[in-house]
Amino acid sequence: MPILLAIETSCDETAAAVLRGFDGVLAHEIFSQAEIHSHFGGVVPEVASRNHLVSAPAIIDSAMEKAGLRIQDLDAIAATTGPGLASSLLVGAAAAKGLCIGAGKPFLAINHIEGHLLSPFFGHETIPPHTALVVSGGHTLLLDVEGFGRYRLLGRTLDDAAGEAFDKVAKLLGLGYPGGIEIDRMARSGNPARFEFPRGMIDSGDLDFSFSGLKTAVRTFLEKHGTPSVVDLPDICASFQAAVIDVLISKLFKAARQNSRRVISLSGGVSANSSLRSRSIERAAGEGLEIHFPPQGLLTDNALMIAFAAAHHLAAGHSHPIDSEIMPNFNPHIL
């Protein structure tokens, strides 16, 4: 079975993974910068890229050592080339290209969104037809998937991604970073029906999203009512979270119905949200749909999902020019 090294540096995680075939995990290494960026209340691109430069060599060496392999033993080397922070993407892509040149190995330029998109089916040689929701700090997308490499964009956020809205509202509430984790934790003891926040575009008739108005509504609420008390904070978190999840679930199941799909998937960091998971599982059971999530460890940014996507590209006979450019901005046509 082919063996791949994959490198992921699209945002603030420095990650490397070694995968044999589609399911043979030989190494899975991640260095998170969350604590570093928590002091700024969000990711600072220059800080992220500088930390990638420092940590990437050690993370790659550690992955190869755990796999018990040399670079010469690999069949190909992959890296995330977009979308993401340009300065961060450059670090991982340059490292992978350098190794490819030095060892004479094929290079695979992997789309970060495709990594998330395929991750719920990690280990599968065949990707089944399904409706997919990719929801993270940078992206909120609905796609119809015919199989590997056959993706059709159904809807996307017109402004803030859902995860971005979580982080921004958490900052407004004085909670820590990453904000989605903190809001999820607080919301577990809150009443989601206590405060009424808008469900942006829930009845728009299309499959696009908008979360900027919801964020503004929370800010206006806080300006009117002042700093939330310890008693109110869980209810505010639960009410905000419910507004986001109502929209996500409504659009996901609408897309599945419109495209006659009996299988759905959720991926990206926000798919770890406990309420989103429980409510989507319950809804899927009620509608007789099969639902998939990524395995634990593949929910947030990681190199193993990049390796898995790369394994499918390699199996399809793909390789990419060593001078392939990074593509920081999301482009649905390159998925």
Average pLDDT over residues 192-210: 97
pLDDT score at 180: 94
Average per-residue pLDDT for the chain: 95
Contact (CB, 8 A) for 16 and 80: no
Please give the Cα distance from 130 to 140 (Å, whole number).
17
The region of weakest confidence among 15-19, 121-125, 172-176, 211-215 is: 172-176
Please give the Cα distance from 278 to 167 (Å, whole number).
21
E strand or H helix that includes residue 282:
helix 274-287
CA distances from 310 to 119, 215, 304 (A): 12, 36, 10
C-alpha atoms less than 13 angstroms from C-alpha of 235 in its C-beta half-sphere: 11
CA distances from 68 to 3, 56, 65 (A): 12, 18, 5
Residue among 108, 159, 117 nearest 138 (CA): 159
CA distances from 19 to 25, 50, 172 (A): 5, 27, 41
Residue 179 predicted with pLDDT over 80: yes
Residue among 83, 59, 86, 84 nearest 5 (CA): 59
Query: pTM of the full predicted structure?
Result: 0.96
Q: How many beta carbons lie within 10 A of that of residue 262, not counting itself?
A: 14
Contact (CB, 8 A) for 131 and 325: no
pLDDT score at 333: 67
Confidence of residue 230 (pLDDT cuts 50, 70, 90): confident
Counting Cβ atoms within 10 Å, is residue 95 exposed (0-12), middle (13-18) or buried (19+)?
A: buried
pLDDT score at 117: 98
Please give the Cα distance from 250 to 202 (Å, whole number).
7
Domain edges within the chain: 3-118+298-334, 128-292
Radius of gyration, CA atoms only, the chain: 20
Please give the Cα distance from 204 to 254 (Å, whole number).
12
Is domain 3-118+298-334 annotated with CATH 3.30.420.40?
yes
Look at the block and give the residue holding tokens 């989507």: 280
What superfamily would CATH give domain 128-292? Answer: ATPase, nucleotide binding domain (3.30.420.40)
Tell me the per-residue pLDDT of 60-77, one tens digit each, with 9 for 90 and over: 999 999 999 999 999 999
Phi, psi (degrees; rounded to nearest 5) at 227: -60, 125
Return the higher-pLDDT residue of 91 and 44.
91
Residue 201 predicted with pLDDT over 70: yes
Residue 41 predicted with pLDDT over 90: no
E strand or H helix that includes residue 142:
strand 140-147
Looking only at the bridges linking them, the beta strands covering 150-156 and 140-147 are antiparallel
